[in-house]
Structure 1
């Protein structure tokens, strides 16, 4: 991805959150120059991977296969006792997050507003392939069985729980969708199993200066 694209998508995503009445922490607005002045008081933000995450999953086609999100809070199994994570996402209309599961993380995904949040689910088999067996999930806490690979639609306010080893892919229909995530500790470096191997973070063409830093770009704290 070009840095100019990342800059633009961060601004667009921030505006989208604000229009839906969702407001970000102050550090989401800090410039790279402001980050250079920060010290140990920001250690949790840096070490636990809080902040902006704009990715095209290596597709070079962000608007069709990509995701924009902010990790708002997160634990770190090596450094603290916080056992939970929260994210907020902008899932654009027709923009797909590729098929993947997590070995450890359990997460609730919530449609907070905008369009319909659509998804397809498959249970992983013993070889981590897509099983054709039905998936038993919880929708707003209610146990529900859905056919493997069938499109499931979440209207505004509805949620689903993804358990480990449950493959999922999602996108928005109708209009862009504000999506929340509440989960156990998130580890994007070691806990993503994409069905088709791909990159979690984008390679960046620095065609202009960064206006904001991504969650994997913070400087060493002073």
Structure 2
């Protein structure tokens, strides 16, 4: 993705989030220089901030996702079972824009439709070795009520509805009707290692530096 395109997506996404009455935290608007500074060391270490991805495929409008990580705990705390064990993200799923089939080994997550269109989620159960079970039905809690679908079945979340996905559950999602504001509440998030995709794709975009960044991405400092 071109950096100029990412800059535009960030500005458009921020406006979309604000149009739904949600305001991002102050560090969302820090300059790249300030994010690289000492006071932002925890922000960088926890992977907080802007995350625009086309999964390395170069087709953002067709397959991609806008994310902003507002808070995130530490894997060390998760291993000990105490401390900051949770994370939160704000996401925008554009109409008919695919977030491709994947699972997490560690992360349990609530995916919440906060407004806009419907969010459609396609589900598969995992096999014993972590693959996709093409035959087993899948049961997931939706706002305290269990819903069950066939392998590859879809659930539709209207604004206000949510689904809980436990580690191992395969899922892909997209918005229908119009763009969708989505929130994710989860256990500690580790995007470096805890995303397993069905197809051989990457988690982060490859960035072509055609202009200066207005905001740094998580992927700009995650391994720095």
- 2:211 maps to which residue? 208
TM-score (norm 2): 0.93
Give the RMSD, CA atoms, in angstroms. 1.7
Rounded to whole Å, the distance in 2 between the matches of 1:128 and 1:220 is: 27
1:172 aligns with 2:190: no
How many Å separate the matches in 2 of 1:8 and 1:156?
26
Deviations 1:157-183 (A, max 9, x none): 000000111000000000000000000
Runs of 4+ in 1 over 3 A off after TM superposition: 218-221
Q: Tell which deviates more after alignment, 126-135 or 56-65.
A: 126-135
Q: Which structure 2 segments of 5+ residues have no match?
A: none
Structure 2: how far apart are the matches of 1:52 and 1:112? 19
Aligned to 1:18: 18
Aligned counterparts of 1:192 and 1:219: Cα–Cα separation in 2: 15
Q: Provide TM-score, normalisation by structure 1.
A: 0.94
The number of equivalent residue pairs is 219
SS in 2 for 1:103: coil
The 8 Å contact of residues 3 and 209 in structure 1, kept in 2 or not, is answered as: yes
Which structure shows the bigger proportion of residues in helix conformation? 2
Q: CA deviation at 1:197?
A: 1.9
1:34-87 per-position Cα deviation (integer Å, ceiling 9, x unaligned): 334x32x32321100000000000110001100001000001123793100000
Whether the aligned pair in 1 keeps the contact of 2:77 and 2:85 (CA below 8 Å) is no
1:127, distance to aligned residue in structure 2 (A): 3.4
Deviation at 1:220? 10
